[in-house]
Amino acid sequence: MKHLLFLLLIPFLGFSQLQTLEDAKQLIEDKQFVKAEQLLTQYVKSNENDTEGIELLGDACGNQKKWDDAITYYEKLTELQPKNADFHYKYGGALGMKALSVSKLRAVGIIGDVKEAFLTAAELDPSHIDTRWALVELYMQLPGIIGGSKSKSLKYANELEALSKVDGYLAKGYIYEYDDEPELAETYYKKAINIGGSLTCYDKLTNLYEKEKQPKKAIANIEASGKTHQRNAMHYQIGKVCAEYNLELEKGEKCLMTYIENYSARDGVPKAWAYYRLAQIKKNKRQKTEALNWINKAITSLPDIKVFKQEKQQIENL
């Protein structure tokens, strides 16, 4: 009889475990990371070798920047499944974030483990794109004295290109931008746009133009992006560039007003920043009263933003 009851309980227990994991996934998706961690901590205590539960717990901790805890859980995953490239990649990522959060001296002692984790993931899975991106960035950002290498970074960019031309071109654009070779970076970002044409491709090129103080090119690229991707955020981007560079002010003002009129939470940038950019444009046009109206509106919406208050002082000094 006891044996029969045990057999009857197995499906129920399995369903209960599955429901816990589904609940945890939903909590993580809803960005309720503390609740997810609490739920998963209890789950993992009872299911200490459940890789899905451990991975989700690591994710919940990582999203809270609790790097030591995330490292512990991801490392356990690499021990339970040493041939799983994703687990080594996540372990390396958590170690990398830990290195960024501590002193440079302490970080040096972590970097070797970061590289080992990423290189292991790359070896285990020759088609693992995220790992190769991580290696591209790691080798570019590390000083040469502790293993940084542009040639190694390019090696993994070439591997990315073999897997995905868009990723390969974006990686090379990143490398040359980081190495202060903007013309080569521009070439590869344009190649990425021609092949993929995603928002990411356009945004990389726009950011490069802004960094290199080429506002006309930035505006033209944003407008080209708008022809392919109908998104309200484009209007803010154009208005921002016009305001910052005192360029095509009428176009900038029109775009910002359009952004405000069509604003929704998915646009990302709060309306207060559009008010701030409008204040800049009005300041550039020497329209002090209107500039003050817009900057006051920005400050009312987001009172803790320092640049808004600094901008108001500049306007008052007109």
Q: Which residue among 98, 125, 152 closes a domain?
A: 125
- How far is the C-alpha of 49 from the C-alpha of 76, rounded, in Å? 9
Kindly report, residue by residue over 148-202, the tens digit of the pLDDT: 899 999 999 999 999 999 999 999 999 999 999 999 999 999 999 999 889 999 9
Q: Which residue among 107, 125, 143 closes a domain?
A: 125
Tell me what the mean pLDDT of segment 73-100 comes to: 94
* Domain annotation covers residue 49: yes
pLDDT at 104: 78
- How far is the C-alpha of 21 from the C-alpha of 15, rounded, in Å? 10
Tell me what the mean pLDDT of segment 110-135 comes to: 95
Q: Which long-range contacts (CB under 8 A, 24 or more apart) does 81-85 make?
A: 81/51, 83/124, 84/124, 85/120, 85/121, 85/122, 85/124, 85/125, 85/128, 85/131
- 3-state secondary structure at position 227: helix
* Domain annotation covers residue 146: no
Domain that holds residue 256: 231-318
Number of domains in the chain: 2
* Domain annotation covers residue 162: no
Distance of CA 105 to the CA centre of its chain: 26
pLDDT at 102: 85
pTM of the model: 0.81
* Domain annotation covers residue 133: no
- How far is the C-alpha of 110 from the C-alpha of 104, rounded, in Å? 10
**Can you list the alpha helix ranges (DSSP code H) found in the chain?**
2-29, 33-46, 51-62, 67-80, 85-101, 104-124, 129-141, 150-163, 165-178, 182-195, 199-211, 215-228, 233-245, 249-261, 271-284, 288-301, 306-316
pLDDT at 18: 67
pLDDT at 43: 87
Judge whether 38 and 60 are in contact, CB under 8 Å.
no
Q: Which residue among 94, 125, 156 closes a domain?
A: 125
* Domain annotation covers residue 57: yes
* Domain annotation covers residue 11: no
* Domain annotation covers residue 214: no
pLDDT at 142: 83
* Domain annotation covers residue 305: yes
- How far is the C-alpha of 76 from the C-alpha of 222, rounded, in Å? 45
pLDDT at 300 over 50: yes
Kindly report, residue by residue over 252-285, the tens digit of the pLDDT: 999 999 999 999 988 889 999 999 999 999 999 9
pLDDT at 240 over 60: yes
CATH number at residue 276: 1.25.40.10
